[in-house]
């Protein structure tokens, strides 16, 4: 099994609900808490497994806002695991989930240097590195109904921009969607072989933008007068 996420950049509305749901579940999860520093202070900061950034692609009038959620990619060739000197960082053979053993981590930050996606964050309160667990404490939980055995971020997404599944199975929903929509990994040139895939924004017809019609002399005077008069 090779578990991971598919994120649809065409659909994501950038509401940050996935990040909030992630924080809510994992703050009390297996490697929680996720400490906050000055949550109500002047410089709020803290540990998050999932961060959403916002980009603009292309220029007016063809521009489009892309909301970009990012968490651990659970790479096939995860350098964060190989560089770890203590053996705290490991990749599970059975499902490919990359995890950090909180009992072994010495907080040297080296794994975060090896990660190109910024998926790992040091928790100052415990002195250990923390990262997305793909809700490992949820997806195998027999107590939960089958449809809820998914990562928090996927369950909560109001736009259904996130999918969870097994990429080793060519007929799984994630594999099929990636095939059909031309899903791609981030920064493939570094050869980390990330498991998570992103679906590109669809091409949309360009909305014609007409130039403003020219008014006559009468219109110009009216506009000039409007500028002078304070209402």
Partner 1 sequence: MHPAFSVIFFTVASGAGFGLFSLLFIADFFKLGGGFNQDQLVAGGLMAMALVVFGLLSSTFHLANPKNAWRAFSRFRTSWLSREGVFAVIFMPLALIYLASIMFDAPQWLRVSSGFLTAVLAWITVFSTGMIYACLKTIRQWNTPLVPANYLALGYASGSLLLLLGAVGAGLDVTPYVAMSALIVSIAAVLKAIYYFWIRSPGLSPTINTATGLTRAKVKLLDTGHTHGTFLTQEFGFQIARQKASLLKVIVFVVGFALPGLMLVWVFNQHGEQMAAIVAAVAGIAGAAVERWLFFAEARHVVNLYHGAQRC
Token readout for 179 is 């095939």
Give me the least distance between CB of 161 and partner 1, in Å please.
Answer: 15
Name the residue nearer to partner 1 (CB basis): 2 or 110: 110
The residues binding partner 1 (CB under 8 A) are: 16, 43-45, 47-48, 51-59, 62, 65-66, 68, 70, 79, 81-88, 103-110, 112-118, 121-122, 124, 126-128, 184-192, 198, 200-201
In whole angstroms, how close is the CB of 153 to partner 1 at the nearest point? 14
Residue 82 or 220 with smaller CB distance to partner 1 = 82
In whole angstroms, the minimum distance from the beta carbon of 144 to partner 1 comes to: 29
Query: Measured from the CB atom, is 1 or 66 closer to partner 1?
Result: 66
Q: For residue 64, list its beta bridge partners.
A: 57
Kindly state the smallest distance separating residue 192's Cβ from partner 1, in Å. 8
Nearer to partner 1, 1 or 108 (CB): 108
- Residue (51 or 149) nearer to partner 1, CB: 51
* Least distance in angstroms from the C-beta of 197 to partner 1: 9
């Amino acid at each position: 099994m090779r578990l991971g996420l598919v994120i649809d950049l065409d659909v994501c509305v950038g509401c940050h609900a996935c990040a909030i749901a992630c924080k809510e579940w994992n703050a009390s999860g297996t490697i929680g808490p996720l400490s906050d520093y000055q949550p109500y202070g002047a410089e709020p900061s803290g540990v998050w497994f999932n961060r959403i950034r916002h980009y603009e692609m292309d220029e007016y009038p063809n521009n489009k806002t892309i909301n970009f959620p990012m968490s651990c990619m659970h790479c096939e060739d995860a350098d964060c695991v190989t560089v770890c000197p203590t053996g705290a960082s490991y990749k599970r053979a059975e499902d490919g989930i990359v995890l950090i053993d909180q009992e072994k981590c010495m907080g040297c930050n080296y794994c975060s240097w090896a990660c190109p996606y910024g998926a790992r964050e040091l928790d100052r309160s415990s002195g250990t590195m923390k990262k997305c667990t793909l809700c490992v404490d949820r997806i195998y939980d027999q107590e939960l109904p089958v449809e809820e055995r998914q990562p928090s971020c996927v369950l909560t997404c109001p736009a259904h921009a996130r999918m969870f599944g097994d990429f080793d199975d060519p007929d799984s929903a994630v594999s099929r969607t990636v095939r059909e929509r031309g899903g791609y990994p981030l920064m493939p040139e570094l050869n980390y072989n990330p498991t998570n895939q992103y679906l590109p924004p669809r091409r949309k017809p360009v909305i014609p933008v007409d130039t403003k019609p020219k008014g006559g002399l009468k219109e110009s005077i009216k506009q000039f007068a409007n500028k002078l008069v304070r209402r």
